[in-house]
């Protein structure tokens, strides 16, 4: 069931994004798929991005096909669909507003506790958090957009910053959250520390 839009600014941005496509993604050429020697099948999804799918697990991820500088806008995005309950593919933009991403292939940006990209849900832009080299996997911090996770999980990102269980920003301390860039919605939910 579609959600009622509670914030007029978000409502306007979502309406524009749903009714006016942000980008036209041309059909992929017939030879867009190839098997890498490391057990991944690769798909070019944009001039700057490649989807890789593991032949063993079937899991997918998104990789940069070009370098980006910190602060670069990598892509615009919008809602393909707005739903009132989260699932593992949605990004939260309001209390009961969760969007399925358009372009759809952005859903293959996986989680890391040391993210290199950020979904700016106020501007509907994917932003590089730090310099990204060609060939780097693109990852974002799931609690940066999710207050409660639909499917909590044990993180295996393997970074020094790994926080373990990923269950949404509501399950994190303010000290943990202070290390990350958070969406406006998540920022609005975080209560300031008492003096």
- Sign of the alpha-carbon dihedral angle for 127, 191, 8, 104: positive
pLDDT at 193: 57
Q: Which fold has domain 8-24+34-189?
A: Beta-clip-like (2.170.270)
pLDDT along the chain (195 residues), means of 10: 51 54 47 57 93 82 97 97 94 96 96 98 98 97 96 93 96 96 96 61
Contacts of 13 (CB under 8 A, 6+ apart): 122, 124
Give the domain ranges of the chain: 8-24+34-189
Quick one: pLDDT at residue 2?
47
The residues with which 90 forms a beta bridge, in sequence order, are 100
């Amino acid at each position: 069931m579609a959600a009622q839009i509670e914030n007029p600014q978000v409502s306007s941005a979502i309406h524009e994004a749903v009714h006016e496509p942000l980008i036209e993604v041309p059909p992929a050429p017939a030879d867009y798929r190839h098997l890498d020697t490391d057990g991944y099948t690769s798909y070019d999804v944009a001039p700057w991005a490649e989807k890789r799918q593991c032949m063993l697990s079937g899991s997918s991820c998104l990789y940069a096909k070009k370098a980006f500088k910190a602060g670069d806008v990598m892509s615009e995005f919008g809602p393909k669909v707005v739903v009132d309950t989260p699932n593992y593919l949605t990004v939260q933009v309001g209390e009961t507003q969760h969007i399925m991403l358009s372009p759809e292939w952005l859903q293959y940006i996986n989680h890391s506790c040391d993210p290199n990209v950020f979904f700016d849900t106020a501007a509907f832009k994917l932003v590089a958090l730090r310099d990204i080299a060609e060939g780097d996997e693109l990852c974002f911090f799931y609690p940066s957009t999710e207050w409660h996770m639909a499917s909590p999980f044990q993180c295996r990102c393997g970074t020094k910053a790994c926080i373990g269980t990923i269950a949404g920003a509501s399950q994190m301390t303010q000290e943990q959250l202070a290390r990350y860039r958070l969406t406006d919605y998540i920022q609005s939910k975080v209560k300031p520390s008492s003096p």
